[in-house]
Amino acid sequence: MITNALRNGIMAGIIEAGNILDPAAVFIGVFSAINDVGRATILADITRPTGLGFNLTAVTTWGAQHNLTDGRRAVDAPVKVFSPVDNTEATTVLGWYVASAATAGTLYQFGYFPSAIPLPDESSQVTVVLRFTVDPNARWDATVSING
């Protein structure tokens, strides 16, 4: 088991400017279709819903590091909201993804929502919060919470 000092240092190093999870270079999006080929999936395999309400958005800043009850250290990105501008952008989203750039970047991670989320018009939305964690064994993970 690593010490809290090392765990906290690993977290700080990974999320600082210029590193892999630099908040200015981490983008969150939702997808309406995907060609899922597992670990070989790339950004070109993602189909993003069309419309202004579905643009990838940068993390921009990570929140303060905090401890979870299970011993993990965590940081959360700000809430990101995805919604059609109006009924002409109606869609159903199936999941979320994290990439290194808004366009032509590298796909870092993707996941599926528990069920498809219909977004018929501007009164519907999905909110996504990206959380990055490091556990006491120095394993790290990124997950999202939705609509909560």
Res. 116 pLDDT band, cuts 50 70 90: very high
Domain that holds residue 99: 4-146
Q: pLDDT, tens digit, for every residue of 85-108? A: 999 999 999 999 999 988 878 999
Phi, psi values for residue 12, rounded to 5°: -60, -40
Q: Is 53 left (phi over 0), alpha (psi -120 to 50) or beta?
A: alpha
Instruction: Detail the DSSP E strand segments found in the chain.
Output: 27-31, 33-34, 46-47, 57-58, 66-67, 73-76, 80-82, 91-99, 107-119, 126-134, 140-146
Task: Tell me the average pLDDT of the chain.
Answer: 91
Mean pLDDT of 104-123: 93
* 16: Cβ contacts below 8 Å, ≥ 6 apart: 22
Q: For the whole prediction, is pTM greater than 0.85? A: yes
Q: What is the pLDDT of residue 43?
A: 93
Q: Count how many domains the chain has.
A: 1
